[in-house]
Amino acid sequence: MPIVTILEKLYGSYSSITFEKICSNLIIGLKAQLSFAGTTDRGWIQLDVSGADETAALSLLDCEIGLVPNSLDNFKKFSVMQGKIIFSNTSAKKFYVDLGLHSPNVCDAVVSDKLLHAQLTDGKKIPHNKLVDLFCLYDNFPLQVKIYEDVMVGNETVKAKLSENQLSFFKRCIGSRFDRLIILGSLFSDVERAVKLSRHSRDIIRIESLGMLEHVVLCKLGTDAVGLIPKIGRSLKTAVLVPLSPKKIIETLGSESFDC
């Protein structure tokens, strides 16, 4: 009965039972059972998986959610890794991405502001806190990075940059000119309910998921994401709601940064 760590964190107002049910629903039809086995020190969810179809269940969990690598062997130069931002407001010149590795020690990916300026702002230097606000790089925002140095045993950090997929995500967001409301710390069903209760469904194209507790509300052209925060947020009291505004980004950086 292996205990695995999935690429989702337990935070906000949700209990372990909620995640156990969600993950169990993913493996319905298989001769396998899973149960919540706790969290790591940083909140990554651990599951105990067993049964005749244990291997298939693990494969399905990896495909649908993602499993945290269980050793440094998976952290190789040029590897593309998924994680979540941490310490977004405590570092002046870099971003830390928690990749979930907790044994034999924690090893975070570090993306320097200098690299983000090269990748996101066409080299234009802006303050760290401005990068956080413009691109919604707050704690728990899912981020995919590419490691560009060898990882050695005992390393607590490894240098990385945004992956091509992650860079494309931001460029698509800006190039579309549609505001997006980023919600961190709510289930998809609760976001749907909050949108309906706000009576602003007509102002929204759709809701997209970045993770179990991280979602993007795609606004219709002309709808201001900032204006939706108090209306949707009143039903999501423990979540973090922040706007991703193409207009604000283009005004700050210029349209040439995104081939708009």
Residue 124: φ, ψ to 5°: -70, 125
pTM comes to: 0.93
What's the mean pLDDT when you consider all of the chain? 92
Going by C-alpha positions, the residue among 197, 180, 179, 189 that lies closest to residue 233 is 197
pLDDT at 101: 86
Question: What single letter denotes the amino acid at residue 219?
Answer: C
The yes-or-no verdict on residue 259 having pLDDT over 70 is no
Evaluate whether 72-163 and 180-244 have a shared fold.
no
Residue 12, sorted as left (phi over 0), alpha (psi -120 to 50) or beta, turns out to be: left
Fold of 72-163: OB fold (Dihydrolipoamide Acetyltransferase, E2P) (2.40.50)
| Strand stretches in 51-203, DSSP E | 80-86, 94-98, 108-112, 142-147, 157-162, 180-184
Class of domain 180-244: alpha beta
Tokens (6 digits) for 21: 């049910």
The CA distances from residue 187 to 18, 25, 139, 225, in Å, are 10, 15, 17, 19
* Least confident stretch, 3-12, 69-78, 99-108: 69-78
Q: Sketch the domain layout of the chain as residue ranges.
A: 3-64, 72-163, 180-244
Q: What is the pLDDT of residues 1-29, one digit of tens each?
A: 689 999 999 998 899 999 999 999 999 99
The yes-or-no verdict on residue 260 having pLDDT over 50 is no
Q: Are 109 and 82 in contact (CB under 8 A)?
A: no
User: What average pLDDT score do residues 236-255 get?
Assistant: 93
What percent of the chain is predicted at pLDDT more than 70? 97
The DSSP letter of residue 222 is: T
The yes-or-no verdict on residue 236 having pLDDT over 50 is yes
Tokens (6 digits) for 19: 């995640």
The yes-or-no verdict on residue 44 having pLDDT over 90 is yes
pLDDT category, 257, cuts 50, 70, 90? Answer: low
